[in-house]
Each structure stands twice: as structure tokens, then as C-alpha cells.
Amino acid sequence: MAIQEKHDKDFWSFKNASKRRGAHALIHYPAMMVPNLQGNILDAIKQASPKSQKVLDPFVGSGTVLVESMNLGLDFSGVDINPLAVLSCLVKSGPYFIDAFKDEASKLIARIRADGITRHEATFIGREKWFEEDVALGISKVARNIKDVDALWARRLFWLALARVIRACCNSRNSTYKLHIKKAADINPEADPVKAFVETIEAYKKHLKDQTVDWSEKGLLKRGRYQNSVSITVGDSTSTLEEAGQLFDVIMTSPPYGDNKTTIPYGQYAFLPLQWISAEDISPSIEASVLANAHALDTASLGGSAKNATERAEVLRNEFESVRKYLVKLSSKGSGVKRFGAFFGDLNPCIEQICNSTNLGGYHAWTIGSRHIEGIRVPMEEILEEMLDKRGMDTVGRIHRSIHAKKMAARNNLSSTMNTEIIVLAKKSAKKS
Ligand SMILES: C[S@@+](CC[C@H](N)C(=O)[O-])C[C@H]1O[C@@H](n2cnc3c(N)ncnc32)[C@H](O)[C@@H]1O
């Protein structure tokens, strides 16, 4: 499957990719993949291996691979530790009841407008810092009335819309995914969550309609429901996949590329919306501890714990040539080895589990970003390929693409090398000892 050879890296950069539409447009989430790019790769895998039907994304995020899999009528499973990501995927997987959604939205908006109660629906440390008083009360008004909506599918749509509103109306800067207070002059005390919610719902009507038309024309939706199977689980992917014991034909994913604390803090990004959204409407298995403070989710994520990190780096040094070559470059005095060990010490068993969950002849497509530790580029692709190879996965291609959106690097104060990413394609050929 030499699809990467057909085109140069500018083709795969999807410089002119159209704006996100349909389900892809429902949420902003950090480090979202380019939908067309993943869709084209999925298509190519399907052509190379027509029987491929079951797709897994073990770091599913906002659900880019989910929607692209649904586009092709595939069965999909996704896992993510972040409840906001899981909510996004649950919404995108449907049902798509357009007329009922419009009815529910009109009733909800009428109730919100008639609601004269002045009561907070969320109590958490820092609420006064991250929200002006009237803004927090406005969000509470929307949240209180969403709780009274009967249908779970409708509540989930409204919660997702409210998540966007909360991010837009909070006092955290838009220029970073971290919680970072705005300058006083940039805070808008007039921000109006009810107005923003109504506008978001209007936009949702269009996105849901676009998606419904597309999938109905392809025969993928019947009475608003997707015809194949979708399963979304909240939790750590290593333990979730081990417990599930299922096999997949395609693994398509973009993992974190370092711990969420020092790279992209997906947990911090989700923290404020998750203070209002009813966790039980996402999943009964969300642990309260991951929502306890702004850092808890990132600490529970891949690489979030520094426990035994130096020892874990040493184990990897002995096992993988690519790690040995990299670690000689890191100073033994700094915290580099520890930071490396914390993340790759978690990634390695996760990769092992993902490979165990792959059918013989199955394909992987890993989209990976670039990261530096102590100013030295981590050769993520080499380490990943060696970790995959050890579990019977042969690398069959690498796509290098440039990221034209400078926003990502700027948002996170990452170095300019963030503007390239690599997609590693691998195939499970045989079991290796
Ligand atoms: C690069 S993002 C995925 C973005 C996604 N491809 C998209 O298009 O939206 C990586 C995801 O890995 C998740 N993650 C981190 N540690 C995890 C773990 N141990 N188990 C499952 N998911 C985890 C993060 O919450 C984040 O959503």
C-alpha cells in the first residue's frame, strides 16, 4: 500500500481543505486531525484490504476518525480518557433526528428565556476567577434547563453546544489550551451565554442537516440512526482494550505526543465545561476524581505520572535501539530522562495492547506530532516503528505533511517544528516472539 508515494507532502498537507462541515463542525478540540486526510487513508486501506470493517481509535478525541469511518459505513470503536471527547463522539455517532432536535431546541430556548431563577448550578474552586458572576449565572440558567430535557440524545447535543459556549465566555485566554487568565482589559463582562447558546444551536441545525443529507444519500442512516455499529468508551485505552478483548482490522489514531501537562493539556481544556455538564449523561463510569481539579485529568492521562519515570526510561533503553540512541543525547542531570520515561513508559504497554487488539493482516495509521525534550527532537516515528515492529507490525509507509495552521504551535508555545507531522502506516504481518 504505497499510497504515500503517489503524492508529495504538499498534497497530504491538505492546504486547501475545505472548512469543517457536518458533524466535524460541532466542536473545537485541541489537535484535531484533518478529516479528508484521514478519510483518504482509510479509503486506501479499504481498497488494499476490502474486508476491513472494524476500526478502532484508542485516542479518539473529538471523533475525526469516527466520522470518517461512518462516512465509509464502517464499524467503529473509540476510547478516550477525557469525558468531553467522549461526549463529542457520542453526539457525532447520532441519532440524527433533525425535526425533533428543532422542536426540542425551541422548547428549551423558550424555557431558558422564561427562567428568572438566580442560582448557580456549578460550584468549584476558581469559578469567580474564570467567570464573571453574570456569565456564570447565565451558563447555570442554560444548564438547569438542559437537565429538564427528557431525551438523552437531545441533552447530549445541548451539553456539547454549552461546552462551546463555556469556552467562549470564560476568562481564560483563547490563545492557549491551558487555563491562563486573560488580561483585565480583554475580559468581556457583557459576554452573554444565553445569546451564544442560541447562536450555537442555530449553527448546529445546519451542521446536523448537512450531515444527515450526506449520510442519508449514501444509505448510511435509517430513520436517523447509523446502520453499522459504533461504541465509545471513557477510560484509559490500555486497560479498556485489555478488558474488551476485541480484534480490529484498522487502528487509526493520533496519540498524545508527550504528557498532557507539558504538551497539550486536553484535561485543562475540558475542565470548565465539565463543571456544568452532567457526567452521568456522558457515562456512568466517569470517576469523580478525574474532575476534581484542573490537573487531575491530565495527571491520569498517558505520561501524566512521573512515578518511577527514570527507571522506566532505563527499561526502554535496554529494550529499544531507537531509545538508546536518543537517551545518550539527553543530559543525565536535567529532568529530560524522567520526562521521556514518564510518557514512553506509558505509551509502550499501550502500543503492545493496541497491537494485541489488531487482526492479522490489519493496518495501523498513526498521526504523530513532533516534540522536543531539552531542545532535542524526540524521534517519535523511529521509536513508534520499533515498538510496533516488536509486536509484529511492519512499517509500510510514512507520510510527512506540513501543518499550515500556525495556530497550533502558537497556542501552546511549542517550537516551530510543530508545523510538520508524520503519519506512520504499518501492517500486521506475523506474530514475532
Ligand atoms: C491528539 S488527541 C486526539 C485528537 C483526535 N484525533 C481528534 O481529531 O480530535 C489525543 C487524545 O488522547 C487522549 N488520551 C490521553 N491519554 C489517554 C489514555 N491513557 N487513554 C485514552 N485516551 C487518552 C486525550 O484525552 C486526547 O483526547
Quick one: which atom of ligand 1 is closest to the CA of 79? 21
Tell me if the bond preceding 95 is cis, omega within 30° of 0. yes
Tell me the pairing of strands 54-57 and 248-253: parallel
Give the pLDDT confidence score for residue 334 in this predicted structure: 78
Decide: residue 116, CB within 10 A, 0-12 exposed, 13-18 middle, 19+ buried: exposed
User: How many CA atoms does the CB half-sphere of 265 hold within 13 Å?
Assistant: 21
Give the pLDDT confidence score for residue 8 in this predicted structure: 55
Calculate how far, in angstroms, residue 223's C-alpha sits from the geometric centre of ligand 1: 31
**Cβ neighbours of 67 (radius 10 Å):** 23
Sign, CA dihedral 402-405-406-411, equals negative
The answer to whether residue 142 sits within a structural domain is no
The answer to whether residue 145 sits within a structural domain is no
Mutate to test the pocket of ligand 1, among 301, 347, 418 (most ligand atoms within 8 A of CB): 301
**Strands (E) located in 256-377:** 358-368, 372-373, 376-377
The answer to whether residue 170 sits within a structural domain is no
Look at ligand 1, atom 7, and give the residue with the nearest C-alpha. 32
Calculate how far, in angstroms, residue 302's C-alpha sits from the geometric centre of ligand 1: 9
Calculate how far, in angstroms, residue 368's C-alpha sits from the geometric centre of ligand 1: 12
DSSP symbols for 294-316: TTHHHHHSTT---TTHHHHHHHH
Calculate how far, in angstroms, residue 324's C-alpha sits from the geometric centre of ligand 1: 27
Quick one: which atom of ligand 1 is closest to the CA of 304? 16
Q: Which residues line ligand 1 (CB under 6 A)?
A: 29, 31-33, 59, 61-62, 64, 79-82, 85, 236-237, 254-256, 266, 301-302
The phi and psi torsions of 17 (rounded to 5 degrees) equal: -60, 135
Look at ligand 1, atom 5, and give the residue with the nearest C-alpha. 61
The answer to whether residue 28 sits within a structural domain is yes
Say if CB 230 and CB 70 are below 8 A apart: yes
The answer to whether residue 152 sits within a structural domain is no
SS3 175: coil
Give the pLDDT confidence score for residue 257 in this predicted structure: 85
What residue type is assigned to position 49 of the chain?
S
Give the pLDDT confidence score for residue 13 in this predicted structure: 57
Rg (CA), the chain: 22
Number of domains in the chain: 1
The answer to whether residue 203 sits within a structural domain is no
Give the pLDDT confidence score for residue 417 in this predicted structure: 45
Q: Where are the alpha helices (DSSP H) in 54-97?
A: 64-71, 83-92
Query: What is the spatial distance between Cα 30 and Cα 297, in angstroms, rounded to a whole number?
Result: 15
The answer to whether residue 161 sits within a structural domain is no
| Full domain range(s) for residue 332 | 3-95+216-428
Q: Which residues in the chain land under pLDDT 70? A: 1-18, 404-418, 430-433
Quick one: which atom of ligand 1 is closest to the CA of 82? 25
Calculate how far, in angstroms, residue 251's C-alpha sits from the geometric centre of ligand 1: 14
Query: What is the spatial distance between Cα 398 and Cα 287, in angstroms, rounded to a whole number?
Result: 38
Calculate how far, in angstroms, residue 235's C-alpha sits from the geometric centre of ligand 1: 10
CATH number, domain with residue 281: 3.40.50.150
The answer to whether residue 137 sits within a structural domain is no
